[in-house]
Amino acid sequence: MCAITLQPLKIAAVIRMSSQTSLVEKGKHCVAVASEVLKHNEMGQTVDASSKLVSMQKDAAVLANEAEKLAKRLEAVDDHYQEMDAKLHRQVGQLGMQEETLKTGKKNSESILAGQQSVLRNKESQLSSAESDLQRAEGKLRDAIKEEKSIQIGSAVGGAVLGLFTGGIGLLVGAGVGASIGAIVNACRDEEKDARSARGRRKSDVDSAKSAVQSSENQISSLASQIKDLALQIQRLEQKRQEIHQKRSEIKTAIPVLKNSTQFWLLFKQLSEDGENRSTLLNKIVKKAHERESYEMFQSNGSQSAANTFFEAWKSIEVAAADGFSNHIYSIDYNCVKCSSACKALPFLRGPDFICSICHLALQPTDC
């Protein structure tokens, strides 16, 4: 009976991981065998290659299948990144619209503020002339009071002196002069009072103009800070998009390599023991395996390197796609739809859904 527990599964996952990384070695072995059979053929040696061909074809079928599966996993991750990118793009658009609205609001507030500042300057100038009016009125009042006092003293003395000659009329004259200066003083007092209250009104106008300016300034400053926040958020999202674009471009480099390798392994399927074209096909296989092309590949540590043959490129992909290279460009954050674990690796697929390596292994048909 095949008892499946988590621990053996984990061990099996590790074994599977190491077998995955040795796929390239298996592939190289296939090519070596193909090369050997070809050499014998070319030397005219008739050796029984049937068992070798069968084993090669079996291995090549496994390799084609593995390469195809890996390409599909990478395509699924690429789709995932594409969705993320589209979502981020929408978010950037929405934030951009909010930013525009706030910028328009800020411009309006700034234009209102300019008007308010002009009103304030006007009110300050009115206050300043009201202050001058008040000072003038105070001066006039001081002068009038002074005049009144001097007239009172003068008329008292003058009236008394005049009285000596007019038999009392001089006193009345003095009283008359005193009464008219009194009216002047009263008028000056009223004027000073009016000027003081006008100054009070102007001061209150200035205060409310100042408070309107202050309120607009606060509003502008709050809008400016919101705009800054939004700009920062947009910048962060754009940075995330850049990272996604980078990851997608790396994935897009790897997928054709895997697809080519699938095509390559499928060539083995066409080999047959007595086929006329066997030598031609073997030649093609050996030549293609050693063909030197330039592939810009990413290493497991994220650094870039150039691979010359498709084997080297394939090896870079296999290593980077294996479990354990969780920080690699092919890995993503996802939740396994089967066990709900949060994972960071290249996911396996169950239909369109992502599953972890443990669940993937549990879903595989077992040999026992």
Using CB under 5 A, list all residues that contact Zn ion: 336, 338-339, 356, 359
Q: Could you tell me if 251 and 80 are in contact, meaning their C-beta atoms sit under 8 angstroms apart? A: no
The CA-atom distances, in angstroms, between 312 and each of 102, 142, 149, 181 are 54, 106, 116, 116
Classify the C-alpha dihedral 295-298-304-308 as positive or negative.
Answer: negative
Q: Considering beta carbons, is residue 177 or 362 the nearer one to Zn ion?
A: 362
Which alpha helices (DSSP H) does the chain contain, by range? 6-21, 23-42, 50-166, 169-266, 278-290, 310-321, 357-363
Q: Considering beta carbons, is residue 71 or 356 the nearer one to Zn ion?
A: 356
Other beta carbons within 10 angstroms of residue 275's beta carbon come to: 12
Pairwise CA distance, residues 164 & 210, whole Å: 66
DSSP assignment, residue 124?
Answer: H
Q: Considering beta carbons, is residue 138 or 353 the nearer one to Zn ion?
A: 353
Q: Are strands 353-355 and 348-350 parallel, antiparallel or unpaired?
A: antiparallel
In one-letter notation, the amino acid at residue 115 is G
